[in-house]
Amino acid sequence: MNLKGLRDACRQMLDDQVSPYLWSDDTLTRFLNNAVREVCFRARMLRADQRSSPSLCQITVDPSAQGRFLLDTTIIAVRGASLSDGDHPLWAVSSHDMDDREPGWDAGRIETGRPYYMVMDLEQKGVQLWPIPPAGMTVTVLLRAWRIPVATEFMKLDEDEPVVMLPDPEELKHWVAHEAYLIKDADTYDPASADRHLGYFEARFGARPSFHEMARWADSPPRRRRTHMF
């Protein structure tokens, strides 16, 4: 279903089919794009890797950055990673797990060499490689990730369709209604209706995950503590 069809479905549900409209086309389009983003957050329906999204998932780390780099803001969580020079895995771990596996790693202990771990800080979109690549060593990281749409994937024209494949795209209309009924200082402000439509949306796509939950998605440590470097 294209953008025009989705807007029409929203207007029918909102009883807003006669001009002048209560909600403009631009407003409904914005809410529909927000709905697609919410689906990606909740159901992890949009994947990325170095082939499909090289600008997001192929990262050459600045040699002067001591193994630190930032993830693109559209990345929700990392599903897996490796170095570009082969099949050498990078284990995604939380700082808590890292404390258990490599005590003192961030408290003055310095170890350089080929990276083995990537310590995730999803709230800040930050990654620390460890061991730290030695000075002058260029490291390229290849990611597999879940993401939300980038700006070029937003629906803008009437014939545009959602970037994610949905069995029933009309279900996006419930997120639109949720946002539409929460516009304050408008005659249409109706928190009870907004909550009801949010419930319909969450019954299909789930609740929005917390940062703690998303951190667990990206936490994939090896089963055994590291005993040697590759």
DSSP output for 97-125:
HHHHHSTTTTTT---BSS--EEEEETTTT
What is the arithmetic mean of pLDDT over 24-34? Answer: 98
The model's pLDDT over 38-63, given as tens digits with 9 standing for 90+, comes to 999 999 999 999 999 999 999 999 98
In this prediction, residue 230 has a pLDDT band, given cuts at 50, 70 and 90, of very low
With tokens 């897996």, the residue in question is 80
- The pTM assigned to this predicted structure is 0.86
Q: Among the listed ranges 59-63, 97-101, 153-157, 220-224, which one has the minimum average pLDDT value?
A: 220-224
Structure-block tokens of residue 64? 């002067």
By residue count, the chain amounts to: 230
Residues paired with residue 93 on neighbouring β-strands, in sequence order: 119
Separation between Cα atoms, residue 128 and residue 105, nearest integer Å = 11
55: left (phi over 0), alpha (psi -120 to 50) or beta: alpha
Separation between Cα atoms, residue 164 and residue 149, nearest integer Å = 9
With tokens 């005590």, the residue in question is 103
Q: Among the listed ranges 12-21, 70-79, 102-111, which one has the minimum average pLDDT value?
A: 102-111
Q: What residues contact 59, with CB distance under 8 A and at least 6 apart?
A: 69, 140, 141, 143
pLDDT at 226: 47
Q: Give the up-direction half-sphere exposure of residue 109: CA atoms within 13 A in the CB hemisphere.
A: 11
